[in-house]
Amino acid sequence: MNRTREERLAAMLAQTPYMTFLGMTAELAGDEMTAILPFAPHLVGNVTIPALHGGVIGAFLEMTALCQLAVREPLRRQPKTIDVTIEYLRPGRAQTIYARADVRKIGRRIANVHVEAWQDHRASPVAALRGHFLLSVSDDDEAAPS
Amino acid sequence: MSFDLDALAQIGARMAQGTPQAAALNFRLVSVGAEGAAMAVPWRAELVGDPDTGVMAGGVITTLLDHVCGLSVSCAVIAGGGGIMEYGMATLDLRIDYMRPAEPRREVIALARCYKLTRSIAFVRASAFEDDESNPVATAQAAFAFTGPRPAAPGVAGGAA
């Protein structure tokens, strides 16, 4: 099962129901991935502004981290999120939001990933996430830490 | 201590149904009170994050926690005599620790308590679980900033300080 990074990313997006629920897609330029979440009415948290739900932005950043890990190397199972810290910098407006993830450290079991999301200007990020993810390194490597 | 029960019920209903994302996730209001707020998200197939296990995506829990944290701030403001906030507040940061996967095909409840309100900031802790708060799926800590003036003096939900 030697799939290319394009195939791994496509499989992750297609096989994760929640990513379909959000409506997220991603593009690859070599090993650089940009995740894209087109605006949709069901993503709104505040109808008066209107603004994307903060939880949706956080979720999109987390899903971007998972996709980046799949792009980076073949994974037996989807990584499990250990913790995330989400910083909200600007309101997410009712338009497409983009994100890029940076795998800062990948060990045998744990990866540290930073993600940043923006809309009109990459230099004016909407939100950022830092998180740790548990990698399944073998078939008998079970679940989240208990 | 007295607080506006109608306002609490009103804000609870508004948060459960008046937000498109909450409606899309079928959020259900569990409780609102001066001491905190709880909401639940029912499991359904399209919210699954890991198709191998059927476990709901972390992002759904993130949204539930963010949402119920915000509701708990509104509750704390009402409990402090502030009435319903007609202006906004913004999440500054949200930290979530995932202790274990949620059980597939089960509703997840999130319970949030705003433990400190200042003039401009609210501090909240929350946890998510199926039926036992002492066995959480995830815990969260969040800070919110008020984006407009609040109508009443700051206080702490539950009375102290």
Q: What pLDDT, in 10s, does the model give residues A113-138?
A: 999 999 999 999 999 999 999 998 54
Query: Is there a domain that residue B40 lies in?
Result: yes
- pLDDT (tens digit, 9 = 90+) per residue, A29-58? 999 999 999 999 999 998 888 899 999 999
Query: Is there a domain that residue B154 lies in?
Result: no
List of domains in chain A? 5-134 (3.10.129.10)
Query: Is there a domain that residue B158 lies in?
Result: no
* Contact: A87, B93; criterion CB under 8 Å: yes
Which residue in B has a C-alpha nearest to residue A66's C-alpha? B49
Indicate the range of B31-40, B67-76, B152-161 predicted with least confidence. B152-161
Give pLDDT, residue A76.
85
Query: Is there a domain that residue B156 lies in?
Result: no
Interchain CB contact of B115 with A (< 8 Å): no
Domain harbouring B74, CATH code: 3.10.129.10
Residue pointed to by tokens 């009443």: B152
Residue A27 has pLDDT above 50, yes or no: yes
Which value does ipTM take for this structure? Answer: 0.90
Query: Is there a domain that residue B21 lies in?
Result: yes
Question: Which stretches of B14-147 are assigned E, i.e. beta strand?
Answer: 28-33, 36-41, 48-50, 55-56, 89-98, 108-117, 121-129, 138-146
Which residue in A has a C-alpha nearest to residue B59's C-alpha? A59
Give pLDDT, residue B160.
34
Q: Which of A28, A38, A16 is nearest to A93 (CA)?
A: A38
User: Structurally, how many domains does chain B consist of?
Assistant: 1
Interchain CB contact of B79 with A (< 8 Å): no
Angle at B138 between CA A57 and CA B85, to 5 degrees: 55
Give pLDDT, residue B78.
87
Q: Residue B114: which domain range?
A: 5-146
